[in-house]
Amino acid sequence: MIVNRMIDRFLIVLLPTTIFIYLSIGTAFQLNVEPPPEFLRGESDWGPKRRAAEEQMARAYWRCSVEVIGSRYGFGQNLPAAAPAEFRIDERRLAALSPKAAEDASARYWQKLRQVWVLPQVWEKHYQWSTSWFGKSLLGHA
């Protein structure tokens, strides 16, 4: 009889604790810090200077994607056809370009981002602790 009570007490504590831990560990996806080759790839007719400038610009746009776009649009979501206003880089990088060329560059890198966004290799999977589900369930939100 005492053994059963000990096991019952143990299970009463262990089972809810296990369920709470299981529900609190979730997965999160984040863009890799390093851009994929498809994003960096330039045109074959570009000279060495243009290629180097474009790679710097591509890396700047990728950094923007990681820092801004990745938190706004998550893994598995489709990106809109037009770039949001937040998809921009430091003005100094664009200073050598005409306004039209800067706009074209932004549109070009947005389309490249849309192409690589769906590739699983550009995402890193992380596990994170989050008890937000608990508050939502107490408040009755789904």
For residue 52, give both structure tokens: 């180097």
Question: Would you say residue 41 has pLDDT above 90?
Answer: no
Q: Is residue 59 part of a domain?
A: yes
73 is a domain residue: yes
Total count of domains within the chain: 1
Give the pLDDT of residue 95: 64
Q: For the whole prediction, is pTM greater than 0.75? A: no
pLDDT (0 to 100) of residue 83: 92
What DSSP assignment string belongs to 44-82?
TT--HHHHHHHHHHHHHHHHHIIIIIHHHS-TTPPPPSS
Mean pLDDT calculated for residue range 103-109: 89
**Is 139 among the domain residues?**
no
| Separation between Cα atoms, residue 53 and residue 30, nearest integer Å | 27
Residues whose CB falls within 8 Å of the CB of residue 96, separated by 6 or more in sequence, listed in order: 53
Q: Among residues of the chain, what percentage have pLDDT more than 90?
A: 35
Is 137 a domain residue?
no
Cα separation, 15 vs 18, whole angstroms: 5
| pLDDT tens readout for residues 69-97 | 998 998 888 999 999 999 988 877 666 67
Evaluate whether residue 113 is within a structural domain.
Answer: yes
What's CA 51's distance to the chain center, in Å?
26
Q: Is residue 102 part of a domain?
A: yes
**Is 118 a domain residue?**
yes
CA distance 59 to 67: 12
Q: Which domain holds residue 102?
A: 26-127
